[in-house]
Each structure stands twice: as structure tokens, then as C-alpha cells.
Amino acid sequence: MRIATWNVNSITARTPRLLAWLESTGTDVLCLQEAKTTEAQFPVAELRELGYESAVHATGRWNGVAVISRVGLEDVVKGLPGDPGYEDVQEPRAVAATCGPVRVWSVYVPNGREVGHAHYAYKLRWFEALRAAVADDAAGGRPFAVLGDYNVAPADEDVWDISVFDGATHVTPAERAALADLRATGLGDVVPRPLKYDHPYTYWDYRQLSFPKNKGMRIDLVYGNEPFTKAVTDAYVDREERKGKGASDHAPVVVDLDV
């Protein structure tokens, strides 16, 4: 079984690449982030033609998540129970579904903007809600994973130059502590293996030739419980999909399971 996560940075702009990628990779389940569309505008029909069902949580121009599956789609949950919201709005940042033998959450963690900003405090509260929402599944006996754009680099080596991030979000102790609290529910980081690149980053800014210079970050993560991680046979960042015209600024992270 092949499961992946991908921040497509606008499903409208990326639909042709998405469809081609699904066909070429044989992915069974895709957790998608930053759809930047409404549920009505999501390419459900195009995906159905390829044999995929879609569970979409999206409301407009920003955010938006989905789980796309060709192995079943049941028990869909849209949004986090206890979602703290930002400025009295609960943003579409999480959706869960059971896909065959595996249950997944697709998450798009708030960016945080800058340390001390109200959005940064919201990010930490959102992590608390995520932890509470997944705790039971994480501790259970069914393969389970939380996949998505976490907007946090777990360690210094997960950014191209840690000195550049001094005082910035994505690497602060509070954000990394939130990741540790999430893992404490029974989840482990499915690190790409074997490492196909020295630095398996997942995100490169569009500006300043960041991708050709490999000035990236590993912020798209797969956190799985023990039944999930024990079933992993391979995991990698599909760096090739970041290349070329019309690419997202994120690359897909792909995990193969023997389930």
C-alpha cells in the first residue's frame, strides 16, 4: 500500500500534475494540503475517473485539506474537535478518513507568522487540539498516521542553515515541544529511508533559487503509530516532483506499507 502527503499550494494550479503523478506513482492514498479552493471547486470528478474518492475540507482561497483514496474512504471527520480557531474562524486545516486497513489525518498546521504574533499562539493551541484529537487512534492497534505540512522542522539538520532561522518560527523550542507532545501519544517520525539525498528536504521557497541551491526545509512529515511504522517498507521524498514549470514549492513524501 502506498500512502503520500503533499502540499500542492493550490489544487487548481496543480490538478494536471496531480493527476499525472497519481497515475505514474500508483499511490493508493494521498493526504493533500493547501488546496486553496472550495469543496465545490475541488476536482472530484477528475479524480473519480482515475478511481479515487475524495474527502475534502476546504472553504475558499486559503488553507484546505483532503484525503484522496482508491482503497476506500470511510468514517470521515472534517476539522479538529476542540479547534481553537483564529480570529473567531475555524479554518479548514484537518480531515481524517479510514482508507482500507489504515486510518489517516491530513493536516495543515498554521504557519505562525512570527514569534509573538497572535497566529503563533494559535499555532501552539492548534497543536494541543491535534494531540487530543489523535490520542486514541495513536495508541490503538490499527495502523494510523498523521500526515501533512507541519510547518515545523523537527531538528536543526532539517533546515538548510539553522543560523538563518535565528529568532524565527518553524524551529523554536515551543514548536518542537508541541511536536514532541504529539509524538508522545504513541507516534513516531517516519524518516525517509533509505535516504535518497543527503538532506531530504520537502519544501523550498520559490525565491532566490532556493531549490537549485537546495536551501530547503523538512516540514512535511509522516507521524505513524507502532502498527503503521512497523509496516513501513520504504519512505522517500519525491524530489523530482518539485522540478519544472508549475511545480508546488513542496515535494510529496511517499511511504510504502506492507499491510
Give the model's pLDDT for residue 199.
66
Task: Check: CB of residue 7 under 8 Å from CB of residue 34.
Answer: yes
Residue 249 assigned ligand-binding role? yes
Residue 151 assigned ligand-binding role? yes
Task: Say how far apart CA 237 and CA 136 lie, in whole Å.
Answer: 28
Confidence of residue 62 (pLDDT cuts 50, 70, 90): confident
Give 192-196 contacts, CB < 8 A, sequence gap 24+.
192/235, 192/236, 192/237, 192/253, 193/232, 193/234, 193/235, 193/236, 194/234, 194/236, 196/236, 196/237, 196/239
Specify the 3-state DSSP secondary structure of 150. coil
Average pLDDT over the chain, rounded to an integer: 95
Residue 7 assigned ligand-binding role? yes
Cell of 193: 529511508
Is the pLDDT at 201 greater than 90, yes or no? yes
Give the model's pLDDT for residue 60.
87
99: buried, middle or exposed (CB in 10 Å: 19+, 13-18, 0-12)?
buried
Number of H helices, E strands in the chain: 5, 14
Q: What is the average per-residue pLDDT within 136-145?
A: 97
Residue 161 assigned ligand-binding role? no
Cell of 40: 465545490
Confidence of residue 191 (pLDDT cuts 50, 70, 90): confident
Give the model's pLDDT for residue 195.
55
Taking domain 2-254, whether its CATH number is 1.20.1250.20 is answered by no
Residue 250 assigned ligand-binding role? yes
Is the pLDDT at 198 greater than 70, yes or no? no
> Domain segments of the chain: what residues?
2-254
1-14 tens-digit pLDDT: 999 999 999 999 99
Three-state SS string across 13-55, please?
A: HHHHHHHHHHHHHCCCEEEEECCCCECCCCCHHHHHHCCCEEE
Q: What is the average per-residue pLDDT within 181-190?
A: 97
229-241 tens-digit pLDDT: 999 999 999 999 9
Peptide bond into 200 cis (omega under 30): no
Cell of 258: 506492507
Cell of 163: 543560523
Crossing angle of helices 173-183 and 118-138, rounded to 10°: 10
Query: What percentage of the chain exceeds 70 in pLDDT?
Result: 97
Task: Say how far apart CA 199 and CA 247 lie, in whole Å.
Answer: 20
Q: Which residues are catalytic?
A: 108, 149, 250
Task: Say how far apart CA 253 and CA 4 lie, in whole Å.
Answer: 5
Torsion, Cα of 219, 107, 105, 7 (10° steps): -70
87-106 tens-digit pLDDT: 999 999 999 999 999 999 99
Residue 214 assigned ligand-binding role? no
Q: For residue 207, how many other CB atoms are within 10 A of its CB?
A: 8
